[in-house]
Structure 1
Amino acid sequence: MWQELEPDQTQDVTVDGYTVKTYSFGAGDEVLLCLNGGPGLPCDYLREAHSCLGGEGYRVVAFDQLGTGSSDRPDDTSLWTISRYVEEVETVRLALGLGKVHLLGHSWGGWLGIDYALTYPDALKSLILEDTVADMPHLAEELNRLRCALGSETVAMMQRHEAEGTMEHPEYQAAITILTYRHVCRLSTRPAPISRSVDDWNKAPYETMQGPNEFLYIGNLKDWNRIPDLPRIEVPVLIVTGQHDELTPACAMKMKLALKDAELHVFPNSSHMPFYEEPDAYYPVLLDFLKRNRS
């Protein structure tokens, strides 16, 4: 169902004195505001996967987070915090006059979406948490389990390179490549929007907040845990994940058990990108949830 569409509207929004680029598709009062993963990725991959919902009666809005894509890219590591990004989301929502939104956060965008929902609960109609987590220490345990599937010798090699700071070594990168195929995108050919986002990745926010790669979390979010706070979220929540996701079904289940009103859907043939890996299964689940929570 996904397709590449020209936005019906682009608008620059000033955030902290910098320019953030926004993209809108479709029209109406039912707004799907998309927060993409990364950190540091342009929004292309998530925008193109959901712009098609503009033809389903929704206004779909995405934006290049500060430091990414067509937005300004300041060289200031103090900007790369989840609390500042929460305020950025609110600034965009108010500047575009979006009113109450259905907030969709994918991966890092899900962490951001959770903190936004806890900070601005009255801004939401529903919350969609895709391929994400609410407990980073638990995720670290799950990522270690996925790494162990490569075998003890490979894990020992990875740990040595991590300790010595030689993670650009070809053998370490080969292990990351295998893990990425297994747990990030299992398609033999990457869809063009994913490639565009990855090829334009600003690693400064990523390394500051997360770490050097998808399987080693040592940034300023390494201790982030919102499981105790999730019961405060009152709006309906849809959680989706892939059976092979790097942010595992166990992480998704932990969120579901902590939320008051949540449903969980696991896509059996997906890893981290079900909207590209299993589109025929993904879109009906999302559209059904949105339809049931229209106001």
Structure 2
Amino acid sequence: MHRRESTAPFRDGFTWYRVTEPDEPRDLAPLFVLHGGPGMAHDYVRALEALADLTGRTVVHYDQIGCGRSSHHPDAPVEHWTPALFVDEFHALRAHLGIDEYHVLGQSWGGMLGAEIAVRQPDGILSLLICNSPASMPLWTSEAARLRAELPVAAREALDRHETDGTIDHPDYLAATQVFYERHVCRVVPTPQDFVDSEAQMLDDPTVYHTMNGPNEFHVVGTLRDWSVVDRLEQVLSPTLVVAGEFDEATPATWQPFVDRIPNVRSHVFPGASHCVHLEQPREFLRVVADFLADHP
């Protein structure tokens, strides 16, 4: 594989990106990888660059504006951080790279962003891969509450107590959060370094994550709390793959609308995996993605 990194201008800042090209390239449209969060940077999905040599196509990673190696804007007003901002950023980067036909793979929030891109029916989108993503945040928070109710009593009580007291930075609250994460976010122990790196940069500047999501995966109090793409999914015309893990915080109830409403869609559940299937079962994840892409070259 051959990699090159640079930045592309976007509004009053810039987007950092990495282009990974295969050793034996084929005449195939590139794949854009959209990371989660919002604000978690690309590090934890970095390993998907392996799709370059596996499929013979170029793979593009980038850090969305406000996080990672892209420009940070901690003083931007709350209303600045919208899904439309990130849709515009995607197309600005695509145009900068001169890519007219492409595939989109989004993980977690990245899948939500991928859906926002696809419902607008842009020219050139060949397929959409939605990985571990909900079709609406009300569905997500409802299912998160159900999963949270299944945690050990001590963890549940710590979460409830510190959220009520407003002390969500307390060590006991953070420890209880980790119990949820090890069940439903990433079941690999110790946590893979790529995930640690993404989380560390988010904690260093949590502007985007805290503004749009909230303090953690199940206490969603940010601007995305009412977000939904459910009533627009019939507008997704590109072939779509929806994947999730058996123990995913993105439960079947959260992604079923994708399957029910997107006209050309298939789904796959990875047994024994949770939210970060690509870190827990990397070979199987890459195989499923590569097989889907092979059907839509």
Same fold per TM (> 0.5)? yes
Q: CA offsets per residue over residues 34-71 of structure 1, 9 Å max, x none?
A: 1000111221121x221111113111001111111211
Tell me the distance in 1 between the aligned counterparts of 2:172 and 2:6.
44
Superposition pairs of residues 130-169 of structure 1, within 5 angstroms: 130-151=131-152, 154-169=155-170
Select 2:295's aligned residue among 288, 292, 295.
Answer: 292
Q: TM-score, normalised by structure 2?
A: 0.92
Tell whether the 8 Å contact from 2:120 to 2:235 is kept in structure 1 after alignment. no
Matches within 5 A, 1:201-220: 201=202, 202-220=205-223
The correspondence of residues 107-186 of structure 1 with structure 2, limited to 5 A, is 107-151=108-152, 154-186=155-187
The alignment status of 1:279 with 2:282, answered yes or no, reads yes
The reply to whether residue 227 of structure 1 matches residue 226 of structure 2 is no
Q: Which amino acid aligns with 1:19?
A: F
> C-alpha displacement at 1:99, in angstroms?
1.2
- Structure 1: unaligned runs, 5 residues or longer: none
- Matched with 1:45 is 44
TM-score by length of 1: 0.93
Of the three residues 4, 8, 17, the one matched with 1:9 is: 4
Rounded to whole Å, the distance in 2 between the matches of 1:184 and 1:152 is 19
Deviating more after overlay: 163-172 vs 102-111: 163-172
What residue number does 1:84 align with? 85
**In structure 1, how many angstroms separate the alpha carbons of the residues matched to 2:161 and 2:282?**
39
Q: Secondary structure at the match of 1:200?
A: helix
Say whether the 8 Å CA contact 1:252–1:264 is kept in structure 2. no
> Residue 281 of structure 1: CA displacement?
1.7
Contact kept, 8 Å, 1:243 with 1:269, in 2: the verdict is yes
CA deviation profile, 1:22-41 (whole Å, cap 9, x unmatched): 11011554210010001112
RMSD: 1.6
Listed as ranges, the gaps of 5+ residues in structure 2 are: none
Q: State the aligned residue count.
A: 288
Residue 245 of structure 2: aligned partner: 242
Residue 246 of structure 1 aligns to a residue in which SS?
A: coil
Q: Is the 8 A contact 2:34 2:111 kept in 1?
A: yes
CA contact (8 A) 1:36 1:106 kept: yes
Q: 2:103 matched to which residue of 1?
A: 102
Q: Encode CA deviations 1:78-126: one digit per residue, 9 max, x unaligned.
A: 4322111110011011110111211001001111111111224323100
Letter in 2 for 1:255: F
Q: How far off its partner does 1:14 sit?
A: 0.4
Residue 266 (1) aligns with residue 269 (2): yes
CA contact (8 A) 2:121 2:236 kept: no
The alpha-carbon deviation at position 156 of structure 1 amounts to 4.5
Is structure 2 residue 35 aligned with structure 1 residue 36? yes
Q: In 1, are the aligned partners of 2:243 and 2:268 still within 8 Å (CA)?
A: yes
| SS in structure 2 of the partner of residue 230 of structure 1 | helix
Distance 1:156 1:269 in 2: 27
Per mean C-alpha deviation after superposition, the further-off stretch among 139-148 and 66-75 is 66-75
Distance 1:157 1:39 in 2: 26
Q: Which amino acid aligns with 1:188?
A: V
Work out the CA distance in 2 between the residues paired with 1:273 and 1:282.
10
Q: Distance in 1 between matches of 2:234 and 2:161?
A: 40
1:21 is matched with 16
Secondary structure of 2:175 counterpart: helix
